[in-house]
A and B are shown apart, each in its own frame.
Chain A
Amino acid sequence: MTAPLLSAQDIARSYELNRTVWGGASIVHAVSGVTLSVGRNETLGIVGESGSGKSTAGRLLLGLEPPTRGSVLFDGKPLPSIGSPEWKRSRTRMQMIYQDPLAALDRRLPISRQMREPLDIHRIGSPQDRDARVSELLHSVGLSDEIGRRYPHELSGGQRQRVVLARALVTRPNLLVCDEPVSALDVSIQAQVVNLLSDLQAELGLAMVFISHDLRVVRQISHRIAVMYLGRIVEEGDADDLFARPVHPYTRALVSAAPIPGKKLTGRIMLQGEPPNPANQPSGCAFHPRCPVAVARCRSEMPTLSDLGGGRQVSCHLAGSSPSVKAELPSTRQAALPNSIATVSEGTV
Chain B
Amino acid sequence: MLTGVALENLSVSFNGIRVLHGIDLVIGQGETLGLVGESGSGKSVTWLAALGLLPSKARVSGRVLVNGQNLLDLPESKLAKIRGRRIAMIFQDPASALNPMLTVKRQIGETLALHRGLSGAAIKAEAKRLLDLVGIPDAERRLNAYPHEFSGGQNQRVMIAMALAGQPDLLVADEPTTALDVTIQAQILDLLALTQRETGMALVLISHDLGVVSQVCDRVAVMYAGRIVEEASVESLFDHPAHPYSRGLIGSLPVIDGPRQRLSAIGGTVPDPGKLPAGCSFAPRCAFAEARCRENIPRLAGIGRDHNVACLVSEAQPAAAIRPSLQKKHRIEA
Task: Tell me the A residues contacting B by CB distance below 8 Å.
Answer: 49-50, 156-159, 186-192, 194-195, 198, 213-217, 219-220, 240, 243-244, 253-265, 268, 270-272, 274-275, 332-334
> Are A219 and B214 CB-contacts (below 8 A) given A191-B264, A265-B186?
no
Quick one: which of A158, A243, A253, A261 contacts B211, CB cutoff 8 A?
A261
The distance in angstroms between the C-alpha atoms of A240 and B257, with both chains bound, is: 7
Known A-B contacts A213-B182, A334-B333; A194 and B254 likewise in contact (beta carbons under 8 Å): yes
Q: Using Cβ atoms and an 8 Å threshold, which residues of chain B touch A214?
A: 182
Question: Smallest CB-CB separation from A290: which chain B residue?
Answer: B183
| Chain A positions within 8 Å of B211 at CB level | 187, 216, 259-261
Q: Which residues of A have CB within 8 Å of B186?
A: 256-257, 259, 265, 268, 270-271
> Which of B69-77, B85-93, B265-273 makes up part of the contact surface?
B265-273
At the interface, yes or no: B250 with Cβ under 8 Å from chain A? yes
From B182, B212, B234, B249, contact of A188 by CB (8 A): B249
Asked if A216 and B264 make an inter-chain contact with CB atoms under 8 angstroms apart, the answer reads no
| Residues of the B chain whose Cβ atoms lie less than 8 Å from the Cβ of A260 | 211, 215, 255-256, 333
Q: With A260-B211, A270-B190 given, can you name 6 additional A-B contacts, CB distance below 8 Å?
A: A188-B248, A191-B251, A220-B260, A257-B182, A259-B214, A260-B333
Q: Check if A261 sits within 8 Å of B214, measured CB to CB.
A: yes
B216 nearest CB neighbor, chain A only: A265
Q: Does B29 contact A (CB under 8 A)?
A: no
Chain A proximity mask over B179-200: 1 for CB below 8 Å, otherwise 0:
0011111110110010000000
Taken together as a complex, chains A and B put the C-alpha atoms of A323 and B283 apart, in Å, by 56
Q: Which residue of A lies closest to B177 (CB)?
A: A259
| Nearest CB on B from A167, distance (A) | 20
B259-290 interface bits toward A, Cβ cutoff 8 Å, 1 = contact, 0 = none:
01011111101000000000000000000000
Closest to A217 in B: B254
Contact A265 B183 (CB under 8 A): no
Is B252 in contact with chain A by the CB < 8 A criterion?
yes
Known contacts A188-B248, A240-B260, A334-B333; A262/B184 CB under 8 A = no
A26 and B189 CA atoms in complex are apart in Å by 35
* B residues in contact with A219, CB < 8 Å: 254, 256, 260
Interface CB pairs A-B, < 8 A, 14: A187-B252, A187-B253, A188-B252, A216-B255, A254-B183, A257-B182, A258-B182, A259-B215, A260-B211, A261-B211, A261-B255, A263-B214, A271-B183, A274-B151
B140 within 8 A of A: no
**A274 and B153 form a contact (CB under 8 A):** yes
B31 within 8 A of A: no
Q: Which residue of B lies closest to A275 (CB)?
A: B181
**Contact of B265 with A255 in the complex, beta carbons under 8 Å:** no
| A49–B181 touching, CB < 8 Å | yes
Given the interface pairs A49-B182, A215-B256, the reply to whether A263 lies near B265 with Cβ below 8 Å is no
Q: Report the nearest A residue to B265, measured CB to CB.
A: A191
Interface residues of B in 155-203 (CB under 8 A from A): 181-187, 189-190, 193
Which residues from B are CB-within-8-Å of A254?
182-183
B24 within 8 A of A: no
